[in-house]
Amino acid sequence: MFFSVCYFIIGIGFVSIVISYVLIIVKCKQKATVRIGLSNPEKEIRKFVQAPGPQPWPIIGNLDLLGRFKCNPFEGLGALTQQYGDIYSLTLGHSRCLVVNSLDLIREVLNKNGKFIGGRPDFIRYHKLFGGDRNNSLALCDWSHLQQKRRNLARRHCSPRESSPYFNKMSQIGCNEINHLMRELNKAQPGKPYDIKKLVLGASANMFCEYMCSIRFDYSDKEFRRIVRYFDEIFWEINQGYSLDFLPWMLPFYKKHTQKIMKWSTTIRKFILDRVIHQREQMLDLDEPENDFTDALLRSLKEDLDVSRNTIIFMLEDFIGGHSAVGNLVMLALAYIAKNPTIGRRIQHEADIVSNKGSRLINLHDMEAMPYTMATIFEVLRYSSSPIVPHVAMEDTAIAGFGVTKGTIIFINNYMLNMSEKYWNSPDHFEPKRFLDETNKKNTWKTVKCNDHRRSSEASDSGIEFEKEMDVHPITIDKFSSTKNYKKYKKISTEMCGYQLKKNIPHFLPFSIGKRTCIGQNLVRGFGFVLLANIVQSYNVTSADISEINIKQASVALPANCFPLVLWPRT
C-alpha cells in the first residue's frame, strides 16, 4: 500500500512536469498576430515569430539563468546579449518574457509601441500591497481610461513647472521643512555615527504631506514614524524580485511574507484615512479655490461619478509614498559623498556661493545655479540604475520584426544603457562631472580647499581624481530681493562655477519615457535637491567605516536599516 501511494505521487509529479513543459514549449512557439497599417481600414494581418532565447526547463523556465546573478539580475540579462543579441525571449516560470537591451529597441518599445504594451505584471505581491488589486496603484496598474484620468488629475500638482505657483509652493515647503530637519540634525553628536536615514525620510515625507495635503507631522509622532518606516519597507520590497512572482504556486511558502507586506499597506492606508482624508473632508468647501492635491481629489470625488473613494485614497497613498524614492536617493548621494569627500566639497562650494556662506537656505530656484549638485543627483540615478517597471503586452504586437504575444512581460534593461562604454566614459566609476558642460568661464572647483581639518576617509571607489588643493578667495553674493534680481544673480553664479548641466541626453532615461513616464519626477528632483544641498552645505558628511556602506547594484532602494553616517558641522 505504501509503495502504491509513492508510485502514485511520483506519477502525478511526472505528469505535471510533462504538462508544464508542453505548455512552456507551446508558448515559445506561439506566433503574434498583428494588423499592419494604422490608416488602412482593411489592415493586413501578419504573423511574427518570437525572438530567440535559451531553451527553458520544465516548471522553472529560465529562472536558473537569473539565479546565477542574485546580486544583480540585470547584469545577467545583459550577459545573455552576447549569445542572443539585444532582443531575446525568456521563459520565467510559465511567463513568456522579452528582454530589450539597446537604446533604439527601448525607444521602439516605450514610444512607438507604448499603446500596445501599457500593462504591468500580474504579480501576487503587487495585489497584496494595494488592497487585493494592483490596478489601485498608478505605477503598477494596467493602462486604462481610469489610469489616464488619474494621471490628468495629478499632473498639475505632481509635475509642477518652474514658472508655476506650485513650483514656488514646493520651494517654500522644502525650505520650511529644512528648518525642522536642521534642528533635529543639530542634536546629533559631532563625529559619532548617526542613523540619518530616519530623519531624511521623515523630512521628505513631511515635504510631500505638506505639499499635497497641507499637513505636516512632528518627527516625534510615533504613528508618523511608523508609516514612514513602512513606506520605506515597501519601496525596498517593490524593488526586489522573488520566485513567487513567476511561480505563484509557491504562495504557501511566502505566507508570512505576504502577511507582513499587507500589514504595512493597511497601516499606511488607515493613517491616511484617519489623519488626512477625514479631517480634510470636513473642511472641504467647493466654493473656495483649490488649495492642494487633496482638495483636487476630494472635489473630483464629488463632481466625477467615475472617481470612487478608493481611487482617491490609493492615489494619495501612491504620491505620498514618492517620498521614499527621494529619501533613498539622498541617502545614496550622501553615501557617495562619504566615500569621496571631493564631491561634498564641490557641492559646498556651489552652496556657499548661492547662499552667501549659509546666510540663507538653498531653495528650488537655486537648482540652475548649482549644476554640480544636480549632476550628483543625476549620477546617483545613473550609477544606481533603478530598474524601469516591466511592461506587459496588452495585445499582440511586433518589436524589431519579432512577435510579442498578448501577456508577454517586457523587461527594459536600462542597466545596460547606464553602464555601457558606448555612451559613458568609465561607466563603473561614480563621476558627476559627466553630466556637465564647460562654459567659457574659469572652473573654480579645481581651487576648492577643504577648510575642515578633521580626519575623514580618503578611500575612494568613485573614479574621481582628487584635485590639488589651493586657496580660494570668498565670493560674496547679496541675497536676492526680487525675481528680476534673482534671475540676474542666478546667471552670474552659474557663470562663476564654470559649468552648466547638460540637457537632453538621449541615452539617460532615469524616469522612463513614453506615456508611462514617472509623473512625479519633478517632485523627486526638486525635493531631493533641497535636501541634499542644505545638508551638505551645513555638514561635512563622512563615515566611521566605509566598508559598512554596502550599496546594491541596479537599485535606488536601500534596506530600511542600511548604514550610519558621521556629520561634522561646518564652521
Q: Alpha-carbon torsion 515, 518, 522, 523, what sign?
A: positive
* Whether 467 and 447 share a structural domain: yes
Contact 338, 541 (CB under 8 A): yes
Output Rg (C-alpha) for the chain, integer angstroms: 26
**Bridge partners (DSSP) listed for residue 36:** 44
Which single residue is written with the C-alpha cell 519615457? Answer: 513
Structure confidence at residue 256 (pLDDT) = 97
Query: Is residue 99 assigned to a domain?
Result: yes
The order of strands in the sheet holding 87-92 is: 87-92, 95-100, 409-412, 391-392
List pLDDT tens digits, range 432-468. 999 999 886 555 555 444 444 333 333 333 332 333 3
Q: Which helix (H) or strand (E) holds 100?
A: strand 95-100
Average pLDDT of the chain is 87
Whether residue 62 lies inside any domain: the answer is yes
Q: What is the pLDDT of residue 464?
A: 29
Residues making up the annotated binding site for heme are: 518
- Per-residue pLDDT tens for 346-369? 999 999 999 999 999 999 999 999
Q: What are phi and psi of 91, to 5 degrees?
A: -120, 115
The conformation of residue 159, written as its DSSP 8-state character, comes to S
Cell numbers that stand for 540 in this block: 561635512
pLDDT level of residue 313 (50, 70, 90 thresholds): very high
- Domain that includes residue 523, residue range: 151-388+419-569
Q: Indicate yes or no: pTM above 0.75.
A: yes
Alpha carbon of 493 to those of 139, 240, 370, 473, 499: distances in Å?
38, 42, 8, 15, 10
Look at residue 191 and tell me whether its pLDDT is greater than 50: yes
- 38, part of any domain: no
Mean pLDDT value of segment 384-409: 95
Rounded Cα distance, 562 and 560, in Å:
6
Sorted by sequence, the CB contacts under 8 Å of residue 221 that are 6+ apart come out as: none
pLDDT at 471: 32
* Residue ranges at the known binding site: 518
Residues 238 and 306 grouped into a single domain? yes
User: Among candidates 351, 342, 344, which has minimal Cα distance to 370?
Assistant: 351
Residue 116: strand, helix, or coil: coil
Mean pLDDT, residues 301-330:
93
Do 429 and 396 share a structural domain?
no
- Average pLDDT of the segment spanning 393-404: 95
Q: Which residues pair with 499 in a beta bridge?
A: 438
Question: How many whole angstroms separate alpha carbon 345 and alpha carbon 342?
Answer: 5
pLDDT of residue 215: 96
Q: Which of 164, 98, 193, 91 is nearest to 409 (CA)?
A: 98
pLDDT band at 240 (very low <50, low <70, confident <90, very high): very high
Domain end marker among 378, 411, 444: 411
Which DSSP category does 104 fall into?
A: H
Residue 372 shares a structural domain with residue 326? yes
* End-to-end Cα distance, the chain: 84
Q: For residue 386, give the nearest of 74, 164, 178 by alpha carbon.
A: 74
Which of 379, 411, 443 marks a domain boundary? Answer: 411
Q: Render pLDDT for 469-513 as a digit per residue (tens, 0 to 9).
A: 333 333 333 334 344 445 555 555 555 568 899 988 999 999 999
Which residues have a Cβ under 8 Å from the Cβ of 10 and sit 6 or more positions away? Answer: none
User: Do residues 467 and 555 share a domain?
Assistant: yes
**Total structural domains within the chain:** 2
**236-245, 438-447, 533-542: range with lowest mean pLDDT:** 438-447
Q: Is residue 4 part of a domain?
A: no
357 and 217 belong to one structural domain: yes
- State the pLDDT at residue 460: 34
Decide if 134 is inside a domain.
no
Helix, strand, coil shares, percent, the chain, to 5: 50, 10, 40
Using pLDDT thresholds of 50, 70 and 90, give the confidence band for residue 172: very high
Residue 392 pLDDT class (50, 70, 90 cuts):
very high
Q: What DSSP designation does 248 have?
A: G
Quick check: 117 pLDDT over 50?
yes
Please tell me whether residues 116 and 181 are part of one structural domain: no
Final residue before a domain boundary, out of 380, 411, 442? 411
Q: What CATH number is associated with residue 198?
A: 1.10.630.10
What are the residues whose beta carbons fall under 8 Å from the beta carbon of 272, sequence distance 6 or more?
A: 313, 316, 317, 320
Give yes or no: residues 258 and 365 share one domain. yes
% residues pLDDT > 90 (the chain): 73
The answer on pLDDT for 5 being more than 80 is no
**DSSP secondary structure string for all residues of 253-291:** GGHHHHHHHHHHHHHHHHHHIIIIIHHHHHH--TTSPP-
Partner residues linked to 97 by β-bridges? 90, 409
Residue 277 lies in a domain: yes
Asked if residue 343 and residue 251 are part of one domain, the reply reads yes
Same domain, yes or no: 184 and 289: yes
Judge if 88 and 213 occupy the same domain: no
Does any domain span residue 143? no
For residue 481, the model assigns a pLDDT of 37
Does any domain span residue 130?
A: no
Same domain, 379 and 528: yes
**136, HSE (Cβ side, Cα atoms, 13 Å):** 21
Query: Which grid cell is 12?
Result: 502525478
Whole-number pLDDT of residue 451: 42
Least confident of 299-308, 381-390, 426-435, 474-483: 474-483
